[in-house]
């Protein structure tokens, strides 16, 4: 019997040298990026902005970070939900999971605030590594945003939104499950960010739910492959055109730990749906909204139960 082909995520080459605005390859890549985000809510970007050496430094720094004692990691706290330490001994969190977050990780101040808490004696090399990593990945994020804005003919709004962007770097560790232990590392969810860019070590586990309900595994990571994923804020901004994909982490392999890092974009202030993205055929579905308000809403009981965070928080209700 012939087996069905395993569905794959779209793969798009976003290497810097191929991306010159205005060229034919830029325009076709804009279309591919937008289509992938509309259909799958994500794609695999092949990106050469993070050198192999920096990639290795990041994952080795992250491993060392998780080796710190739990009492120290728990000092990573934040007013913003899910920005600080999340993990062991917390209710509703899979026991395999631990995560730490650095707010404003594209600034020296952000990385130093974090590292001074983890290592009161200082850790300049950690700061330098995560700062250059976040800066490089934020360039990829900006390219993707610019491409989508251009595809929709609303590039005039790009700069003002981009100026309000802040970058959260979240580092995740998933230990391998023990015998007979549940293998879910991270429950199904959509991200609350505008865009998330994920990068992982060689241990697989990320699965993305396609629109037909099937799960697509990301099984072929390389140091230059990044998962670019749209969050609920991007969906609302696009008046529902961009899809925010449900995804989860399932640890099917052996005992080796999975490490991943995600750069999550949030925007300060109010996000407006461009008026060009609503018309008679496509009526306005979302009100202007406060991005961090959306995140806080998700942390409420009502918000955590909503089928769609974006709809629950800022949909225009039909009479
Ligand atoms: O570890 C991963 O690859 C995914 C993590 C994730 O989905 C999240 O932190 O929102
Ligand atoms: Fe996620």
| Strand pairing class (215-217; 289-290) | unpaired
Give pLDDT tens digits for 226-252: 999 999 999 999 999 999 999 999 999
Least-confidence region, from 50-64, 158-172, 284-298, 305-319: 305-319
Query: If DSSP codes are grouped into helix, strand and coil, which group holds residue 314?
Result: helix
Confidence of residue 18 (pLDDT cuts 50, 70, 90): confident
Give the distance (Å) from ligand 1 centre to CA of residue 198. Answer: 7
Q: Can you tell me the mean pLDDT for 260-279?
A: 98
CATH number for 48-314 (one of 2.60.120.330, 3.40.50.720, 1.10.3720.10, 3.30.420.40): it is: 2.60.120.330
Question: What's the confidence (pLDDT) of residue 139?
Answer: 97
Tokens 């005039």 correspond to 156
Q: How far is the centre of ligand 1, averaged over its atoms, from the C-alpha of 262 (Å)?
A: 7
Question: Alpha-carbon distance 103 to 101, whole Å?
Answer: 6
Cα(49) to ligand 1 centroid in Å equals 21
Residue 198 near ligand 1, beta carbon < 6 Å: yes
- Ligand 1 pocket test: which of 205, 228, 247 has the largest number of ligand atoms within 8 Å of its C-beta? 247
Asked whether 209 and 172 are in contact (CB, 8 A), the reply is no
pLDDT at residue 6 above 80? no
Average pLDDT over the chain, rounded to whole? 95
Question: What pLDDT does 147 receive?
Answer: 98
Per-residue confidence band for 17, with pLDDT thresholds at 50, 70 and 90: confident
| Residue 87 beta carbon below 6 angstroms from any ligand 1 atom | no
Three-state SS for 127? helix
206 lines ligand 1 (CB under 6 A): yes
Ligand 1 pocket, mutate which of 81, 171, 220, 260 (most atoms under 8 A from CB): 260
Q: From the CB of 203, is ligand 1 less than 6 Å away?
A: no
Query: Is 23's pLDDT higher than 60?
Result: yes
Question: Using CA atoms, how far apart are residues 19 and 17, in angstroms rounded to an integer?
Answer: 6
Tell whether ligand 1 has an atom less than 6 A from the beta carbon of residue 96.
no
Closest residue by Cα to residue 152 from 316, 278, 15: 278
Report the distance separating Cα 107 and Cα 166, nearest Å: 10
Q: Lowest-confidence range among 81-90, 133-142, 221-230, 261-270?
A: 81-90
Which of 85, 45, 27 shows the shortest CA–CA distance to 230? 45
Contact 38, 30 (CB under 8 A): no
φ and ψ at 265, to 5 degrees? -95, 130
User: pTM, whole model, 2 decimals?
Assistant: 0.97
> Does residue 172's CB lie within 6 angstroms of at least one atom of ligand 1?
yes
Is the shortest distance between the CB of 191 and ligand 1 below 6 Å?
Answer: yes
Tokens of 289: 């909204």
User: Is residue 319 pLDDT above 50, yes or no?
Assistant: no
């Amino acid at each position: 019997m012939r087996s069905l082909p395993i569905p794959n995520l779209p793969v798009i080459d976003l290497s810097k040298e191929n991306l010159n605005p205005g060229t034919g390859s830029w325009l076709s890549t804009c279309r591919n990026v937008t289509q992938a985000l509309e259909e799958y809510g994500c794609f695999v970007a092949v990106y050469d902005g993070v050198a192999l050496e920096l990639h290795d430094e990041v994952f080795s720094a992250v491993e060392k970070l998780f080796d710190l004692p739990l009492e120290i990691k728990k000092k990573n706290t934040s007013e913003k939900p899910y920005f600080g330490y999340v993990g062991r001994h917390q209710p509703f969190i899979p026991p395999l999971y631990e995560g730490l977050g650095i707010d404003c990780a594209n600034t020296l101040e952000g990385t130093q605030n974090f590292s001074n808490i983890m290592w009161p004696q200082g850790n300049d090399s950690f700061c330098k590594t995560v700062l250059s990593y976040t800066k490089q990945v934020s360039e990829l994020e900006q390219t993707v945003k610019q491409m989508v804005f251009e595809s929709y003919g609303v590039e005039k709004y790009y700069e003002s939104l981009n100026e309000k962007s802040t970058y959260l770097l979240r580092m995740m560790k998933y230990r391998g499950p023990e015998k007979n232990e549940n293998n879910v590392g991270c429950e199904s969810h959509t991200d609350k960010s505008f865009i998330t860019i994920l990068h992982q070590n060689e241990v697989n586990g990320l699965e993305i739910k396609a629109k037909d309900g099937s799960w697509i595994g990301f099984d072929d990571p390389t140091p230059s492959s990044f998962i670019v994923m749209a969050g609920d804020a991007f969906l609302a901004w696009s008046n529902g055109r961009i899809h925010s994909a449900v995804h989860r982490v399932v640890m099917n392999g052996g005992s080796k730990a999975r490490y991943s890092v995600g750069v999550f974009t949030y925007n300060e202030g109010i996000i407006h749906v461009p008026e060009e993205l609503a018309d008679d055929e496509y009526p306005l579905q979302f009100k202007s909204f406060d991005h961090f308000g959306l995140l806080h809403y998700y942390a409420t009981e009502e918000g955590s139960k909503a089928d769609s965070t974006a709809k629950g928080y800022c949909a225009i209700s039909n009479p």
